[in-house]
Amino acid sequence: LKTIAYGIADSSAFTPYDESELDGLIGGRQNGVLLIAGCEETYRKYCSSLRLDRFLNEFLYFTCINNYSRVIVSPDLGGAMLSGYDTVIFLDTPPAYALAFVVAKKSGGKVYVPQNDNQRVFLDGIDCSREAFGVCFDAIRRNQALTADNVLSYYKLLSARCSLSMNAFMAAVAVFSELGFITVQKSPFKIEVNAGMRAELTDSKIYGYLLQWAKS
């Protein structure tokens, strides 16, 4: 979701594909193919059918700077080397096509997106009301001393203290970061509230996207 802040794109900017075409798009190439899964379920779905064991398999972060063919789940593109990839295939539809937009700019390669738009699956459990976002903000504010190895560990620790769904938490962090309400430290993972920041939720591109889908 946080990539929506970088720019929203239209599906017509990318090449649609049917699931039956995946093998042909990937071929037997050991270099230059990047597969991006939006969630663990999708990654596991294609593990066997696409023989993903042939590629580098990564989660969140690129572990090396090269153009080895790889599959990565929910990537953070900070510092990623994408210029060596001429074929980028999204196994899930990225919300608002924002990540596809960023990848296309960084790689210069051909970007493929699924014909069947499934971006709604990433929005399950997100309440777009001000009250719901207020609950998330209060949970973060009251637990600023909390640290963890990564964002998933942090969420588990926080949700043990406050009842929050993962999607709701991730959405809130993305929106609050965009608006400058919080600062996220990655290693160790920690969230600090920036006192005195003022903005409306509707100033956030990410929040606008969430509202649009909530009404559709």
Closest CA to 116 of 91, 88, 87, 98: 91
Query: Cα dihedral sign for 155, 203, 126, 79?
Result: negative
Q: Which pTM does this prediction carry? A: 0.80
Q: Which of the given ranges, 21-30, 95-104, 120-129, 138-147, has the highest pLDDT on average? A: 138-147
How far, CA to CA in Å, does 28 sit from each of 23, 24, 36, 111, 121? 9, 9, 17, 18, 30
At residue 83, the pLDDT reads: 87
pLDDT classification of 190: cutoffs 50, 70, 90: very high
In this prediction, residue 16 carries a pLDDT of 96
Residues 189 and 112: their CA atoms lie apart, in Å, by: 32
Retrieve residue 186's tokens. Answer: 């990655």
pLDDT digits (tens, 9 = 90+) for 29-41: 888 999 999 988 9
Phi, psi of 169 (to 5 degrees): -65, -45
Residue 216 has pLDDT above 70, yes or no: no
* pLDDT tier for residue 136 given thresholds of 50, 70 and 90: very high
- Give the 3-state secondary structure of residue 20: helix
Pairing of strands 33-37, 15-17: unpaired
List helix spans (H) across 3-88: 22-26, 40-49
pLDDT value of residue 5? 78
Q: At what angle do helices 166-179 and 151-161 cross, to 10 degrees?
A: 110
